[in-house]
Amino acid sequence: METLTSPLSYTDIEQILPHRYPFLLVDRIVELIPDTRIVGIKNVSFNERYLAHRRGQSPVLPPTILTESVAQVGACLILAKPENRERLIYFMGIERVRYRHPVHPGDAVRIEASVVKLRGRVGWLQGVGSVDGRVVIEGRMTFALGPRQT
């Protein structure tokens, strides 16, 4: 099994992550530097069932869904390595997460995640999401690698 490289399509991402529609929240990976950095895209559609609709306002992507998108891009970075392909990534915590601006239907969120530290099966990722160059989310996530349950 070889290390995956970018670009990765939605179908390629399905080979890495256990998530499926409607909860696979990464549309494509445009950059992947193993053990270092990844860039993914989440296109937000008016058809997303989890959009928050408020009377008189444009619908917005809930911050929790945006956080999950960042986590899934980070998981692709870690699970793209051959030795991790048969494992699952478990997010244990998020720290210093800030939601800077709302995300609306029609937006393409560019999500960058980088490895801060890896220590055995535990690691830390830094994530930043932006729309048209404007930061919408940033924060750090702690994760652990575990066996894939069958």
Predicted confidence band at 66 (pLDDT cuts at 50, 70, 90)?
A: very high
Predicted confidence band at 150 (pLDDT cuts at 50, 70, 90)?
A: low
Average confidence (pLDDT) over 115-144: 97
Alpha helix stretches (DSSP H) within the chain: 10-16, 63-79
Residue 149: Cβ-neighbour burial (10 angstroms; 0-12, 13-18, 19+)? exposed
> How many folded domains does the chain comprise?
1
In a domain, 55, yes or no: yes
Q: What is the DSSP string of 101-137?
A: S---TT-EEEEEEEEEEEETTEEEEEEEEEETTEEEE
Instruction: Kindly list the strands in the beta sheet with 134-147, ordered across the sheet, starting from the edge strand earlier in the chain.
Output: 28-33, 37-43, 108-119, 122-131, 134-147, 87-99
In a domain, 1, yes or no: no
Model confidence at 3: pLDDT above 70: no
What number of other Cβ atoms are within 10 A of residue 131's Cβ?
Answer: 20
Model confidence at 122: pLDDT above 70: yes
pLDDT tens digits, residue range 9-56?
Answer: 999 999 999 999 889 999 999 999 988 999 999 999 999 989 988 888
pLDDT tens digits, residue range 76-105?
Answer: 999 998 888 889 999 999 999 999 999 999
In a domain, 117, yes or no: yes
pLDDT at position 34 is: 87
pLDDT at position 56 is: 84
pLDDT at position 68 is: 97
Q: Which domain holds residue 28?
A: 10-147
In a domain, 112, yes or no: yes
Q: How many CA atoms are closer than 13 Å to the CA of 125, on its beta-carbon side?
A: 31
Give the SS3 label for residue 83: helix
Average confidence (pLDDT) over 132-146: 98
Cα distance between residue 131 and residue 125, in whole Å: 20
Give the SS3 label for residue 44: coil
In a domain, 3, yes or no: no
In a domain, 2, yes or no: no
Average confidence (pLDDT) over 55-83: 94
Look up the CATH number of the domain holding residue 102.
Answer: 3.10.129.10
Model confidence at 1: pLDDT above 70: no
Give the SS3 label for residue 19: coil
pLDDT at position 53 is: 83
